[in-house]
Structure 1
Amino acid sequence: MTNKRKNWSQQVTGNSSALELEDGVFTLGSARKIAESLKRSADQAKPDANAAYRSAMSMLTFYINRAGKKLPDDERQKLETAKDELRRLYDRPARKR
């Protein structure tokens, strides 16, 4: 399998035409910073707040899913918390647990 084909998910998160992501967005120090960065990127790309929210949440979920079992538990928890922060930033209802 070629490197191009093996690393398609890295290309999506790094070069997505949907959002211009800040370098290292998913490794920022806090869930709040990750959510704020995703919101900035989504708001710049999508003038409609609903579309911006969906794009930001989709990119975050995509990253978590692609990392799979290789994502350490503490990082996964930070990214799941970033989802909650993103919901707050867009005034969306909290996730039911």
Structure 2
Amino acid sequence: MPKEPKKKWSQEVTDNSDAMDLEAGVFKQRSAKKIAEALKHSAERSQRRKAGPFQSAMSMLNFYINRAGQQLTKAQRAKLENAKDELRKDFGRKPKA
């Protein structure tokens, strides 16, 4: 009997962690602004998060960037890094210098 492909641990964390519930395809959005808006919306509505909405959204974005690692193109990484600034704006935080 063939083995089932094992899910990566990072997918398991995304699916079952208490970080927050994410909308499907949130990181596939075309713009940094859309990614930030979707993360903010998910963070504010999630019943699973333990931290505040901003911290949960930023943590999930950083988790995704770190796990995708070298598989991200320069353009994808830049878009996700820009999403951090958009997320800060959406939550009324100062942009990082």
Normalised to the residue count of structure 2, the TM-score between the two structures is 0.84
2:29 counterpart residue number: 28
State the alpha-carbon separation in 1 of the partners of residues 16 and 35 from structure 2. Answer: 17
Decide whether aligned partners of structure 1 residues 14 and 27 sit closer, same or farther in structure 2, where only a CA change above 3 A counts.
farther
Where do 5+ consecutive residues of structure 2 fail to align? Answer: none
- Cα root mean square deviation, aligned: 1.7
Residues 76-95 of structure 1 aligned to structure 2 (within 5 Å): 76-95=77-96
State the alpha-carbon separation in 2 of the partners of residues 36 and 15 from structure 1. Answer: 22
Partner amino acid for 1:29?
R
Render the CA deviation track for 1:24-72: whole Å, top value 9, x for unaligned. 11011111110000000111126xxx71100000000000011111111
Normalised to the residue count of structure 1, the TM-score between the two structures is 0.84
2:43 counterpart residue number: 42
1:10 counterpart residue number: 11
Percent identity reads 54
Higher share in helix: 1
Structure whose CA Rg is larger = 2
State the alpha-carbon separation in 1 of the partners of residues 13 and 28 from structure 2. Answer: 16
